[in-house]
């Protein structure tokens, strides 16, 4: 553990900027929203800014990107194929714990299992992560219920916690240790462990009642979902409120469904695009020849929450699919973000 | 900061969003949390605006048709060609030349097109194709209140205790407005839907009144009748702030209580209860779709009168709210894109108005109102020879036969379109993120969309091209920027007089009237600020309803039940909205007609089987979709499917003009 | 889970293959014999029966297609029906044209695990295409298996796939082939009726037996019913599922059914697994 003065904390970012493209929370003036953006100068970073409205997953999993170009000339029979992705060193400075958990969910899914997704790997390689403990949760947050905050426990290179006028810097990896050494940071006295715990505890106290009153509210719903005791009427009730916009999947830090499209360009080459997709859409599962196994909207809602909350998913990945960031709640036109859905399911249990 | 705040350009809700820019090109989109209307939401179309805006399927060069083939030319050559041809061939522009404007153009584009048509080319034949749609709403509201636009405010939906939705499938047409209504309902507002088909908002409403096709007006009239007969209305309010109640009450006399259940298919008590709830609520709003396939003028008049009677007009949380489906439909009327209007609903035929514009434009205007473009095309005796068409994203080309016989068709647009097949000259325009422009949403909110993308340097904003064309004819307008154009609009239009680009700071734009009295804009129609009384508008007083005939036992009604209507050309350049649009079309490639399970059994058909729909005028073959959303005896067809529009529905020309209330008695048989 | 056979070079970026020969099969179905341009790739390309590839038609798009050849001593080919934009573009290609290949993906049919058992193949229509890879492979190792039976049905004789193979197979000693068409047709002397009727006719065994079933949903259900009523267990019935696929490597989740991803956990599943997937197929 190390310490750095509050006013000097950006020196870490400056040091990182020597070998990485630095991303940090920046407030867009006209809209007043925070984005996790690439910065040219460390002054742009505002560590006190609210949780980024756009999940930083967009850095490792862009909303739309070209992964390949190819061209084929039918007369000369010449075919050319070229990959368009490649690693670029990135440093994420001031990432919130929930968003880090989301990236780790994506890591497990995209780089684990049968194949390593090369496109994701290219974005994710050479990444330095500096997380920032949330001392004050936002109104929508419930990371305490999904084991993803308010302070990151793993997966970071450095973890910052603001204690009085200093930042506590915890090292989580060799890379982090090297950076701390190169900056010559002062070691933190042992009592900072307790001080940090105090900051975390106080933060937890500030969460909305619904999160802290009964931390098991999500896991109870998970159990219910998995054992199949949620009545179809509940799914119909939820499905009626779905506006089929896809927003929940787009803002969710752990959603990774994507679409692939080949687009013909005016010069007759073809670019293969990868873009965010969502299981909320009717056309998502439709197959050639009309068969659509998931046509009714309530089936699609069922699928989404099953994917996020069922016990079998959490058994596979060792944690729920939800990171408690609360974005799906404010972005949903129909008011069926995850917290509300869990409430409906619980209401069904309790009557 | 790659993200730049902007306005979504699809429907009339005018949601805020942020566009991610990369190397001068749009690369992503995100919601705007603090925008007063969208408040952090976007619909499926808004979420894929970036797919549209980064497409390369653009018209890349001006073209002139020579020997049947469109050949690339310079802009100067194209404009010169147009100018010469018009000088040579058009001797009587008031009869021979017309302009089909686009409800998607910015206010500056629309205003200069209008100025070009009237002052340079001397024709008043300018219209958008919503003459029989949104114009109805504007006429009624202007007649009654002097405000030619929505009376309420979308921001105040959360303050409405009672919300009435008439017809419109609002969660699919303007999803964010539907979302606001739904959330108000969750918070305790009473949401009532009157519709012939069980749309999503009907499922989410507290009360769903499923009336027989074409009888919404009767249900509304019945509500008004109860309020008058039982004297439920606030007498003080009516005396102090309104005039004309007697005329309205008389017109309701012809509606007999005992006829209501048979006509509407709904019990009288159900309708009366809703009327009582409407009056009791402290605040109430009504929503209906306005535009092509919106309500007819008579029904809108009844709705407005009902709400005036109930005292739900001119106060916070209240209003009669037509919802436009296209981004600048309201703005187009504000800019005078109608044969008989100048800006701000100033009548062309008024000599004082003509004098004002003659002075400002240094010209000599023809003061005789023109005709709408579709009226001219429809009229076999019209002398129309040349037509300018701007950015019509409908692939549906009505009157294609008549268009083929014109001498000159000029098409202005950004994306490829089937209109170009008919064009003699094609001129590319910049897409909306490539230049500054203001757009007026359905609640009179004028918002600035500033330039974000670089685009092709050779392709200019539409308004600049109109100015260049005017210059070819000797009219040098010399606008330095879009801001200059707006400054001129503000000088000539009372409701826009306080609007200037300098005032567009922050999110949310300015709602007109924005003038000296209301420097920050006007949230809603306010009785407090009004001088005269609100008038009850004239209504027909007739309550006949088209009945199904023995030979034609079904009543076919049309609507916009999908996200994508008018075959929306621009959405076809996206990936996911196009896939969703196709998901339905692939299941029912030639379109579908919805009937309920009992009727399907009677005709002995199953879902997706082909049926023949026969009316007095013609027939069409489509697939049948069996659903519980419609009641027995009702057949429903979504407006957007091409073959059905051009082959079958167009036979019923008068009926197209009645929009949502158009009812065609048909026979449906198994094939 | 399975250890995949796909070389890293063919996971994300397609490798170019040349159309060497095109054969007309039944109506709307053609077989394309392909050879990789890169000889190294050609050498390294190994498949298991039951796997699939993602095939790119340049300018049209990419689609998933099952692999009919046997893993051993069989030319690399695909048999594709013209159903849409991309398959339509494939059908316009001529010999010498090029396509892109990614793969092979998927778990594949069991082979080592079923040695010593009786193997029944029940196919309907173009369902014979994916099964062909297993049939040929098993026949190449005839002695390692018990009874090998093929029950194949189509609507008319013109709809029978791989006629040239069937003719050879009917001559193989120890391979019992039963072919049927739905309704009588002039000139057809074989069985008439639905394929599930052939199960009794062939006196299909149930002990130490595994059945591979592939065909349209209606046929699938009636065949399963018949087999299980004879005593065959649900974990001895094997099929291959189809789903809309985009990435083929278990990341985009278009092919998800419940907890499983058809492109990596499948596409081959036992009937026991299919019943517990958590969603309808």
Q: What is the tens place of the pLDDT at every residue in B174-221?
A: 999 999 999 999 999 999 999 988 889 999 999 999 998 888 999 999
Same domain, yes or no: C227 and C131: yes
Q: B3-53: what fold?
A: Phosphorylase Kinase; domain 1 (3.30.200)
Is residue C264 in a domain? no
Chain A residues with CB-CB distance to B448 below 8 A:
none
Number of CB atoms found within 10 A of residue B202's CB:
23
β-partners of residue A235 are none
Cβ neighbours of residue C227 closer than 8 Å, sequence gap 6 or more: C120, C122, C199, C204, C206, C211, C213, C237
Residue B612 pLDDT grade (very low, low, confident, very high; cuts 50, 70, 90)? confident
- Spatial separation of the C-alpha atoms in residues C152 and C159, rounded to whole Å: 11
Q: Which domain holds residue C132?
A: 112-240
Contact with chain C for residue A177, Cβ under 8 A: no
CB contact under 8 A, B575 and A275: yes
Q: In chain A, which stretches have pLDDT less than 70?
A: 209-216, 226, 228, 286-293, 311-315, 349-351
Q: How many CB pairs under 8 A join A and C?
A: 111
Give the nearest partner residue to B576 out of A31, A62, A259, using CB atoms.
Answer: A259
- Spatial separation of the C-alpha atoms in residues A213 and B584, rounded to whole Å: 45
Same domain, yes or no: C78 and C120: no
For residue A71, what are its two tokens? Answer: 């061209």
Closest approach of chain B CAs to the CA of A234, in angstroms? 14
Same domain, yes or no: C88 and C121: no
- Spatial separation of the C-alpha atoms in residues A159 and A93, rounded to whole Å: 10
- Spatial separation of the C-alpha atoms in residues B409 and B423, rounded to whole Å: 5
For residue B367, what are its two tokens? Answer: 């003061």
One DSSP character per residue, B120-167 reads IS----EE-TTTTTHHHHHHHHHHHHS--S-SS-GGGGGG-SEEEEES
Nearest chain A residue (CA) to C107:
A114
Let me know: does B140 contact B301? Beta carbons within 8 Å: yes
Contact with chain C for residue A299, Cβ under 8 A: yes
Contact with chain B for residue A271, Cβ under 8 A: no
Contact with chain B for residue A290, Cβ under 8 A: yes
Chain C residues with CB-CB distance to A310 below 8 A:
259
Based on the structure, what is the number of domains in chain A? 1
CB contact under 8 A, A35 and B507: no
Give the nearest partner residue to A115 out of C4, C84, C246, using CB atoms.
Answer: C4
CB contact under 8 A, B178 and A37: no
CB contact under 8 A, A31 and B43: no
What is the residue-averaged pLDDT of chain B? 89
Nearest chain A residue (CA) to B573:
A263
| pLDDT, mean of residues B42-71 | 92
Closest approach of chain A CAs to the CA of B37, in angstroms? 12
Residue B124 pLDDT grade (very low, low, confident, very high; cuts 50, 70, 90)? very high
Contact with chain A for residue B23, Cβ under 8 A: no
Q: Which domain holds residue A216?
A: 2-70+80-350
Residue B431 pLDDT grade (very low, low, confident, very high; cuts 50, 70, 90)? very high
Same domain, yes or no: C127 and C150: yes
Residue B91 pLDDT grade (very low, low, confident, very high; cuts 50, 70, 90)? very high
Give the DSSP H or E segment for B286. strand B284-290
β-partners of residue B195 are B210
Q: Among residues B300, B287, B10, B13, which one has the least CA distance to residue B132?
A: B300
CB contact under 8 A, B579 and A283: yes
CA-CA-CA-CA torsion sign (A115, A121, A126, A131): negative
Based on the structure, what is the number of domains in chain C? 2
Chain C residues with CB-CB distance to A70 below 8 A:
14, 56, 58, 100
CB contact under 8 A, B54 and A247: no
Is residue C225 in a domain? yes
ipTM for this model = 0.92
- CA neighbours within 13 Å on the CB side: how many for A68? 24
User: What's the CATH number for B554-670?
Assistant: 2.40.40.20
Contact with chain B for residue A298, Cβ under 8 A: no
Supply the CATH number for residue C155's domain. 3.40.50.80
CB contact under 8 A, B33 and A273: no
Q: Among residues B140, B215, B291, which one has the least CA distance to residue B656?
A: B291
Model pLDDT for residues B259-274, shown as the tens digit of each residue: 999 889 999 999 999 9
Chain C residues with CB-CB distance to A114 below 8 A:
1-2, 4, 249-250, 264
Q: What is the pLDDT of residue C1?
A: 39
Is residue C100 in a domain? yes
Give the nearest partner residue to A77 out of C87, C96, C247, using CB atoms.
Answer: C96
| pLDDT, mean of residues B564-593 | 72
pTM of the model: 0.91
| pLDDT, mean of residues C249-259 | 85
Contact with chain A for residue B18, Cβ under 8 A: yes
CB contact under 8 A, B576 and A281: yes
- Spatial separation of the C-alpha atoms in residues B660 and B656, rounded to whole Å: 9
Best mutation target among B47, B202, B592, B627 (most A Cβ atoms within 10 Å) is B47
- Spatial separation of the C-alpha atoms in residues B175 and A246, rounded to whole Å: 13
Residue B568 pLDDT grade (very low, low, confident, very high; cuts 50, 70, 90)? low
The larger pLDDT score, comparing residue B455 to residue B435, is at B435
First to last CA, chain B: 60
Crossing angle of helices B245-252/B297-309, nearest 10°? Answer: 120
The verdict on domain B63-130+330-511 having CATH code 3.40.50.740 is: yes
Length of chain C: 281
- So where are chain B's domains? 3-53, 63-130+330-511, 135-324, 554-670
Chain A residues with CB-CB distance to B46 below 8 A:
245
Same domain, yes or no: C196 and C234: yes
Q: What is the pLDDT of residue A91?
A: 94
Give the nearest partner residue to C281 out of A270, A293, A299, using CB atoms.
Answer: A293
CB contact under 8 A, C98 and A77: yes
Q: What is the pLDDT of residue A180?
A: 92
Alpha helices in B310-350 (DSSP H): 329-334
Question: With 70 as the cut, is the pLDDT of residue B503 above it?
Answer: yes
Chain B residues with CB-CB distance to A259 below 8 A:
575-576, 579
CB contact under 8 A, C256 and A109: no
Is residue C163 in a domain? yes
Number of CB atoms found within 10 A of residue C88's CB:
13
CB contact under 8 A, A37 and B28: no
Give the nearest partner residue to A241 out of B32, B51, B182, using CB atoms.
Answer: B182
First to last CA, chain A: 49
Contact with chain B for residue A240, Cβ under 8 A: yes
For the stretch C134-169, what's the b/e string if a residue is b when 16 or more beta carbons lie within 10 angstroms of its beta carbon?
bbbbbbeeeeebbbbbbbbbbeeeebbbbeeeeeeb
Interface subset of B 555-584, CB within 8 angstroms of A: 575-576, 579-580, 582-583
CB contact under 8 A, A266 and B60: yes
Contact with chain B for residue A331, Cβ under 8 A: yes
Let me know: does A3 contact A169? Beta carbons within 8 Å: yes
Model pLDDT for residues C15-51, shown as the tens digit of each residue: 999 999 999 999 899 999 999 999 999 888 999 999 9
Which whole-number Å values give the CA distances from A200 to A9, A98, A104, A142, in the listed order?
20, 14, 21, 14
For residue A274, what are its two tokens? Answer: 């990868």
Nearest chain A residue (CA) to C60:
A262
Q: What is the pLDDT of residue B442?
A: 95
Residue C2 pLDDT grade (very low, low, confident, very high; cuts 50, 70, 90)? very low
Give the nearest partner residue to A74 out of C1, C97, C256, using CB atoms.
Answer: C97
Is residue A75 in a domain? no
β-partners of residue A262 are A272
Chain A residues with CB-CB distance to C264 below 8 A:
113-115
Interface subset of B 165-204, CB within 8 angstroms of A: 171, 175-176, 178-179, 182-183, 186, 200, 203-204
CB contact under 8 A, A67 and C254: no
- In CATH, which of 3.40.50.720, 3.20.20.80, 3.40.50.20, 3.40.228.10 is domain B135-324? 3.40.228.10
Chain B residues with CB-CB distance to A250 below 8 A:
47
Number of CB atoms found within 10 A of residue B76's CB:
11
Closest approach of chain C CAs to the CA of A330, in angstroms? 25
Question: With 70 as the cut, is the pLDDT of residue C257 above it?
Answer: yes
Cβ neighbours of residue B123 closer than 8 Å, sequence gap 6 or more: B93, B94, B96, B97, B98, B99, B117, B366, B370
Contact with chain A for residue B33, Cβ under 8 A: yes
Closest approach of chain C CAs to the CA of A258, in angstroms? 5
Closest approach of chain C CAs to the CA of A329, in angstroms? 23
Closest approach of chain A CAs to the CA of C174, in angstroms? 38
For the stretch A13-23, what's the b/e string if a residue is b when 16 or more beta carbons lie within 10 angstroms of its beta carbon?
bebbbeebebb
Closest approach of chain A CAs to the CA of C120, in angstroms? 28
């Amino acid at each position: 553990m190390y310490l750095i003065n509050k006013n000097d904390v950006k020196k870490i970012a400056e040091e990182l900027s020597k070998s990485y493209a630095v991303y940090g929370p920046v407030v867009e003036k006209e809209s007043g929203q925070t984005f996790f953006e690439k910065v040219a100068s460390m002054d742009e970073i505002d560590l006190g800014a609210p949780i980024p409205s756009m999940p930083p997953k967009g850095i490792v999993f862009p909303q739309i990107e070209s992964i390949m170009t190819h061209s084929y000339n039918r007369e000369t029979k010449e075919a050319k194929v070229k990959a368009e992705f490649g690693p670029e060193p990135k440093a994420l400075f001031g990432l919130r714990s929930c968003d880090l958990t989301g990236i780790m969910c994506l890591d497990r899914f995209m780089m684990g299992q049968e194949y390593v997704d090369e496109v994701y790997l290219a974005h994710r390689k050479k990444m330095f992560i500096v997380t920032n403990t949330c001392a004050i949760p936002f109104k929508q947050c419930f990371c305490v219920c999904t084991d993803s905050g308010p302070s990151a426990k793993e997966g970071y290179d450095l973890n910052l916690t603001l204690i009085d006028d200093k930042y506590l810097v915890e090292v989580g990896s060799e890379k982090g240790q090297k950076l701390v050494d190169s900056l010559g940071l002062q070691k933190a006295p042992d009592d900072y462990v307790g001080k940090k715990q105090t900051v975390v505890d106080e933060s937890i106290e500030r969460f909305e009642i619904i999160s802290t009153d009964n931390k098991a509210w999500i896991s109870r719903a998970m159990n219910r979902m998995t054992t199949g005791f949620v009545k179809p009427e509940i799914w119909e009730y939820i499905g009626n409120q779905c506006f089929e916009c896809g927003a929940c999947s787009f803002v969710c830090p752990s959603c990774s469904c994507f679409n692939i499209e080949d687009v013909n360009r005016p010069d007759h080459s073809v670019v293969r695009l990868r873009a965010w997709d969502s299981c909320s859409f009717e056309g998502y599962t439709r197959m050639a020849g009309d068969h659509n196994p998931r046509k009714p909207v309530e089936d699609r809602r069922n699928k989404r929450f099953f994917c996020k909350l069922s016990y079998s998913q959490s058994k596979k990945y060792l944690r729920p699919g939800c990171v408690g960031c609360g974005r799906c709640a404010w972005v949903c036109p129909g008011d069926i973000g995850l917290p509300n859905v869990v409430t409906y399911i619980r209401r069904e249990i309790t009557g | 900061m790659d993200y730049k705040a902007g306005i979504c350009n699809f429907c009339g809700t005018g949601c805020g969003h942020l566009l991610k820019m990369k190397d001068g090109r749009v690369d992503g989109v995100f919601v705007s949390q603090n925008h007063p209307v969208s408040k952090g939401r976007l619909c499926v179309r808004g979420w894929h605006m970036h797919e549209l805006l980064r497409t390369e399927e653009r018209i890349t060069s001006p073209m002139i048709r020579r020997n049947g083939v469109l050949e690339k030319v310079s802009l100067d050559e194209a404009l010169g060609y147009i100018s010469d041809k018009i000088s040579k061939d058009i001797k009587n522009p008031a009869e021979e030349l017309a302009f089909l404007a686009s409800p998607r153009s910015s206010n500056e584009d629309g205003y200069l097109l209008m100025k070009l048509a009237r002052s340079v080319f001397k024709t008043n034949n300018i219209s958008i194709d919503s003459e029989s749609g949104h114009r109805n709403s504007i006429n009624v509201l202007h007649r009654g209140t002097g405000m030619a636009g929505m009376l309420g405010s979308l921001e105040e939906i959360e303050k409405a205790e009672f919300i009435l939705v008439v017809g419109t499938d609002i969660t699919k047409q303007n999803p964010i407005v539907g979302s606001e209504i739904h959330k108000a309902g969750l918070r305790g507002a009473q949401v009532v839907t009157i519709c012939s088909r069980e749309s999503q908002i009907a499922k989410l409403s507290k009360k769903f009144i499923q009336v027989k096709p074409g009888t919404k007006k009767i249900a509304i009239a019945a509500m008004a009748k109860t309020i008058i007969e039982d004297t439920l209305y606030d007498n003080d309010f009516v005396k102090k702030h309104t005039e004309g109640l007697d005329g309205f009450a008389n017109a309701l006399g012809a509606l007999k209580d005992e006829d209501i259940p048979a006509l509407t298919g709904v019990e009288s008590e159900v309708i009366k209860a809703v009327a009582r709830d409407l009056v009791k609520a402290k605040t109430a709003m009504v929503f209906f779709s306005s535009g092509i396939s919106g309500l007819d003028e008579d029904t809108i008049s009844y709705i407005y009168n009902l709400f005036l009677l109930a005292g739900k007009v001119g106060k916070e949380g209240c209003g009669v709210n037509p919802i436009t489906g296209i981004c600048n439909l309201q703005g187009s009327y504000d800019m005078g894109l109608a044969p008989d209007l100048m800006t701000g609903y100033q009548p062309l035929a008024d000599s004082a108005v003509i004098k004002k514009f003659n002075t400002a434009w240094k010209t000599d205007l023809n003061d005789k109102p023109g005709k709408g473009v579709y009226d001219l095309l429809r009229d076999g005796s019209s002398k129309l020879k040349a037509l300018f068409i701007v950015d019509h994203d409908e692939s549906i080309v009505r009157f294609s036969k008549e268009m083929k016989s014109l001498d000159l068709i000029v098409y202005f647009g950004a994306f490829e379109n089937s209109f170009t097949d008919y064009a003699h000259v094609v001129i590319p325009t910049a897409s909306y993120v490539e230049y500054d422009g203001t757009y007026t949403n359905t609640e009179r909110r004028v918002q600035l969309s500033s330039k974000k993308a670089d685009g092709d340097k050779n392709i200019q904003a539409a308004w600049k091209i109109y100015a260049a064309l005017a210059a070819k004819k000797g009219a040098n307008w010399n606008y330095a920027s879009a801001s200059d154009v707006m400054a001129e609009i503000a000088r000539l239009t009372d409701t826009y007089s306080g609007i200037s680009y300098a005032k567009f700071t922050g999110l949310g734009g300015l709602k007109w009237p924005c003038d000296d009295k209301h420097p920050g804009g006007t949230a809603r129609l306010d009785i407090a600020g009004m001088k005269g009384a609100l008038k009850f508008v004239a209504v027909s007083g007739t309550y006949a309803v088209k009945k199904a005939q023995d030979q034609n036992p079904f009543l076919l009604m049309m609507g916009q039940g999908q996200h994508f209507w008018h075959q929306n050309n621009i959405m076809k350049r996206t990936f996911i909205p196009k896939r969703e649009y196709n998901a339905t079309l692939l299941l029912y490639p030639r379109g579908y007609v919805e009937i309920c399970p009992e009727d399907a059994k009677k005709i002995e058909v199953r879902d997706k089987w082909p049926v023949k729909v026969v009316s007095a005028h013609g027939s069409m073959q489509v697939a049948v979709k069996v659903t519980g959303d419609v009641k027995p005896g009702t057949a429903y067809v979504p407006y957007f499917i091409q073959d059905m529009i051009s082959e079958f529905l167009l036979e019923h020309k008068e009926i197209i003009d009645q929009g949502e209330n158009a009812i065609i008695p048909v026979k449906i048989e198994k094939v | 889970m399975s250890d995949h056979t796909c070389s890293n070079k063919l996971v994300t970026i397609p490798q170019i293959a040349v159309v060497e020969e095109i054969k007309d099969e039944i109506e709307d179905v053609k077989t394309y014999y392909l050879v990789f341009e890169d000889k190294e790739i050609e050498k390294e390309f190994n498949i298991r029966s039951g796997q699939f590839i993602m095939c790119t038609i340049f300018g049209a798009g990419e689609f998933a297609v099952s692999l009919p050849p046997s893993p051993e001593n069989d030319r690399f080919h695909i048999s594709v029906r013209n159903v849409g934009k991309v398959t339509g573009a494939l059908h316009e290609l001529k010999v010498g044209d090029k396509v892109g290949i990614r793969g092979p993906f998927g778990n594949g049919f069991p082979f080592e695990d079923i040695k010593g058992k009786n193997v029944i193949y029940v196919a309907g229509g173009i369902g014979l295409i994916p099964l062909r890879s297993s049939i040929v492979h098993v026949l190449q190792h005839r002695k390692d298996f018990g009874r090998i039976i093929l029950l194949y049905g189509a609507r008319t004789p013109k709809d029978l796939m791989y006629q040239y193979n069937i003719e050879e197979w009917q001559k193989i000693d120890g391979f019992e082939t039963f072919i049927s068409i739905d309704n009588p047709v002039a000139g057809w002397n074989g069985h008439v009726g639905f394929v599930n009727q052939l199960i009794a006719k062939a006196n299909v065994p149930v002990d130490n037996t595994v059945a591979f079933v592939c065909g349209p949903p209606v046929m699938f259900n009636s065949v399963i019913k018949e087999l299980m009523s004879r005593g065959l267990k649900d974990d001895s019935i094997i099929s291959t599922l189809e789903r809309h696929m985009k990435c083929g490597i278990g990341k985009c989740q278009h092919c998800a059914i419940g907890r499983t991803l058809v492109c990596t956990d499948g596409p081959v599943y036992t009937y026991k697994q299919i019943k517990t997937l958590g969603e309808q197929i």
